[in-house]
Structure 1
């Protein structure tokens, strides 16, 4: 839940080193960042989360913006720490999806409606995406960032984000089409596929 109108006050207190302000920022952003890291199959998501917030503490004096900008900034740091963890372990994520089933219950986005995550294996679907496609889908669908914010977080242009989103949705559609051949599968695919049109949105 967003801090809201109190955010400037909380941010100022955090800059002054107030423990309560840091605790509030962590409570607000920590769970979402952890879901993002788990969704990428991070080898040690809790450790990666800790590294992320250490960077936030060290670099807070450089931040300038509102609560939405702060949220995007923290997620950009978390993705950078995730990439560092991949490099250290010399691997790309293989087992993704941890925490996403829970996240879907709390987040909704018109680009990918609930039935997709309720009826299909989230981990299996995400494993078919590239790391960048996965990042865009998680940020846009589960964390509800705009295209502009997502571009800032992953360090790519808005056009690239739109293309990655489009390709991710197309891959999911293909996976869902080939997922089940039984009568039940045919019925839920028929109701699901219209919600997976690769529209870009704002």
Structure 2
């Protein structure tokens, strides 16, 4: 559930070093970030979330924007950390995404979209998409990012994201029929 109108005060309190504010930001942004990293086949998604939050803590004083912008910014950091991890290990995600139900907790499976993604059959179908298509599906339909936010997170144009989304939905239709 978004922080809402209190976001500027919560962010300022976090920048000022108040623990309660960081706890609130972590509770709001870590679970969807973890889902995203898992959907991308991250080898150690929990470790990457921790690394992301270290970077968020360091860079929060320079952030300017609203809650939606902060959310997109955190996912951009997550995608960047994931790319760094792939470069470091010299691999791209070739192993299908692990069954999310193995890791499902109340924090990581909170709504109907997340519950649907935890289903093994759905996971098997999603694993047949390309990593970029899975990312677009996760960001647009599960985490409900706008087209512009998704493009920013993925470092692509809005047109490229539209095309990825179109191809992913087309592939899903074919797989589900």
Structure 1 residue aligned with 2:100: 99
Q: Show structure 2 runs of 5+ residues with no match.
A: none
Structure 2 residue aligned with 1:146: 146
**2:55 matches 1:50:** no
Moved more, 6-15 or 120-129: 120-129
Structure 1 residue aligned with 2:125: 125
- Cα distance in 2, alignment partners of residues 92 and 123 from structure 1: 19
How many pairs does the alignment contain?
171
**2:68 matches 1:68:** yes
Contact residue 107 and residue 143 of structure 1 kept, 8 A: no
Q: Give the alignment's TM-score, normalised by structure 1.
A: 0.76
Deviation at 1:12, TM superposition (A): 0.5
Deviation at 1:176, TM superposition (A): 2.1
- Cα distance in 2, alignment partners of residues 169 and 29 from structure 1: 26
**2:142 matches 1:159:** no
- Cα distance in 1, alignment partners of residues 70 and 131 from structure 2: 23
Q: Show structure 1 runs of 5+ residues with no match.
A: 109-113, 178-202
Deviation at 1:100, TM superposition (A): 7.0
- Cα distance in 2, alignment partners of residues 118 and 43 from structure 1: 18
Deviation at 1:167, TM superposition (A): 0.6
- Cα distance in 2, alignment partners of residues 70 and 5 from structure 1: 14
Structure number with greater Rg is: 1
Q: Give the alignment's TM-score, normalised by structure 2.
A: 0.86
Deviation at 1:71, TM superposition (A): 0.8
- Cα distance in 2, alignment partners of residues 147 and 17 from structure 1: 33
Structure 2 residue aligned with 1:9: 9
Deviation at 1:43, TM superposition (A): 0.4
Contact residue 100 and residue 122 of structure 1 kept, 8 A: no
Moved more, 97-106 or 22-31: 97-106
Structure 1 ranges of 4+ moved more than 6 A = none
